[in-house]
Amino acid sequence: MSKLWGGRFTKQTNALVEQYTASIGFDKQLAEEDIQGSLAHVTMLGKCGIVPQEDVEMIKTGLNKVLERIRKGEIEFSVSDEDIHMNIEKNLIEEVGPVGGKLHTGRSRNDQVATDMHLYLRNRVVELTGMLYELQSALIGQAKDNLDTIIPGYTHLQRAQPILFAHHLMAYVSMFQRDIGRLIDSYKRINILPLGAGALAGTTFPIDRHFVAEQLGFDGVYENSLDAVSDRDFILEFLSDASMIMMHLSRLSEELVLWSSTEFNFIELDDAFCTGSSIMPQKKNPDVPELVRGKTGRVYGNLMGLLTVLKSLPLAYNKDMQEDKEGMFDTVATLEGALQLFAPMIATMKVNKGRMREAVNTDFSNATDIADFLVGKGLPFRQAHEVIGKTVLYCIQNNKFLLDLTLEEFQQFSPLFDDSIYQVLQPETVVNARNVYGGTASPQVKAAIDRAEQALAVSAEWIGAHSAGVAE
Catalytic residues: 156, 277
- Rounded Cα distance, 275 and 292, in Å: 14
Burial letters 409-443, b for 16+ CB under 10 A, else e: bbeebbebbeeebeebbebeebbbbbeeeebbbbe
Question: Please, which residues bridge with residue 267 across strands?
Answer: 351
Contact status, residue 152 vs residue 363, Cβ threshold 8 Å: yes
Using CA atoms, how far residue 2 sits from 11, 95, 97, 99, 103, in Å, is: 11, 16, 15, 17, 18
Contact status, residue 368 vs residue 292, Cβ threshold 8 Å: no
Which residues, including other chains, have CB under 8 Å from residue 214's CB and lie 6 or more apart?
Answer: none
Q: Give the amino acid at 290.
A: E
Which residues, including other chains, have CB under 8 Å from residue 434's CB and lie 6 or more apart?
Answer: 440, 441, 444
For the chain, the C-alpha Rg in angstroms (whole number) is: 30
Instruction: Read off φ and ψ for residue 165, nearest 5 degrees.
Output: -60, -35
